[in-house]
């Protein structure tokens, strides 16, 4: 099997492997912003992340040099692109100081592929972080 074929197979299989409802979400995960300006370390207070339970995440925001970014404005939007709908809740983000933010009020109400987009603005510099989950 060529590498490409293997990757294709993997991509096809991924949603099935993770459609378990008990997907093995890592406790801590780090995501890079689209233009590489920020990285966000995500820690969920619900492990593993399961459907139909409201919970919160802690976000640790750092810049490209790895320095904590405090006082950024962060908004969150999310949903299931395959089903053309948004989140079941209206989550909020509050700053906890030292580059730490609390994302409160998340609840995923369907198994499947979810996307969350964080729009991060700090000192007039904006970048977005796409976080994906399979539940």
Q: Which of residues 111, 114, 116, 133 is near another protein by CB under 8 A?
A: 111
Q: Does 71 bind another protein (CB under 8 A)?
A: no
Q: Which of 55, 115, 131, 41 is nearest to 91 (CA)?
A: 55
Backbone φ and ψ for 83, nearest 5 degrees, come out as -110, 0
Q: Does 92 sit near another protein (CB under 8 A)?
A: yes
- The SS3 call for residue 42 is strand
Residues 6-65 that bind another protein (CB under 8 A): 16-17, 19-22, 51-52, 54, 56
How many residues are there in the chain? 135
Residue 73 CB neighbours (<10 A): 11
CB of 23 to another protein, least distance (A): 9
| Nearest-approach distance from CB 36 to another protein, in angstroms | 31
């Amino acid at each position: 099997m060529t590498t490409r074929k293997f990757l294709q197979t993997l991509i096809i299989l991924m949603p099935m492997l993770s459609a378990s409802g008990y997907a093995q979400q890592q406790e801590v995960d780090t995501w890079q912003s689209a233009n590489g300006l920020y990285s966000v370390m995500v820690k969920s207070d619900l492990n593993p992340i399961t459907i139909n339970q409201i919970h919160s995440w802690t976000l640790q925001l750092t810049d490209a040099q790895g320095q904590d970014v405090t006082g950024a404005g962060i908004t969150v939007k999310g949903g299931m692109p395959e089903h053309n709908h948004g989140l079941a809740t209206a989550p909020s983000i509050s700053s906890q100081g030292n580059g730490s933010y609390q994302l409160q009020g998340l609840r995923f109400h369907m198994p499947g592929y979810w996307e969350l987009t964080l729009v991060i603005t700090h000192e007039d510099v904006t970048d977005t972080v796409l976080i994906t989950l399979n539940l």
